[in-house]
Structure 1
Amino acid sequence: MLLYLLQKEGIGLGKEAKTNAMRMLDKKKIAYEALTYEVDTFIDGMHCAELTGAPVDASYKTLVMQGKSKQYYVFVIPIACEVDLKKAARSVGEKSVEMIHVKDITKITGYVRGGCSPLGMKKMFPTVIDESAKNFAEIYVSGGRIGLTLKMKPQDLVAVTNAQLVDIQAE
Structure 2
Amino acid sequence: MARKRPGGGTPATLALDRSGVAYAVRAYEHDPAAGSYGLEAAQALGVEPERVLKTLLVEGEAGLGVGIVPVVAQLDLKAMATELGMKRVSMADPRVAERTTGYVVGGISPLGQRKRLPTVLDASALRYAAVLVSGGKRGLDLELSPADLVAATDARVADIARAHR
State TM-score, norm by structure 1. 0.87
- In the other structure, the counterpart of 2:112 is 120
| 1:54 and 1:140 in contact (8 A); partners too | no
- The alignment's C-alpha RMSD in Å is 1.5
- In the other structure, the counterpart of 1:60 is 53
Tell me the secondary structure at the aligned position of residue 66 of structure 2.
strand
Q: Percent identity?
A: 38
Q: 2:13 corresponds to which letter in structure 1?
A: M
- In the other structure, the counterpart of 2:80 is 88
Deviation at 1:57, TM superposition (A): 1.3
Deviation at 1:54, TM superposition (A): 2.1
| 1:42 and 1:146 in contact (8 A); partners too | no
Q: Following superposition, which runs of at least 4 residues in structure 1 exceed 6 angstroms of deviation?
A: none
Tell me the secondary structure at the aligned position of residue 144 of structure 1.
strand
Match of 2:8 among 10, 17, 23: 17
Matched residues in 2 for 1:17 and 1:39: separation?
20
Matched residues in 2 for 1:67 and 1:145: separation?
26
2:150 equivalent to 1:162: no
- The answer to which structure has the higher strand fraction is 2
Q: 1:31 corresponds to which letter in structure 2?
A: A
State TM-score, norm by structure 2. 0.90
Equivalent pairs, count: 157
Runs (5+) with no aligned partner, structure 1: 1-9
More displaced 10-residue stretch of structure 1: 43-52 or 77-86: 43-52
Larger Rg: 1
Q: 1:29-48 maps to which residues of 2 (within 5 A)?
A: 29-39=20-30, 41=32, 43=34, 44=36, 45-48=38-41
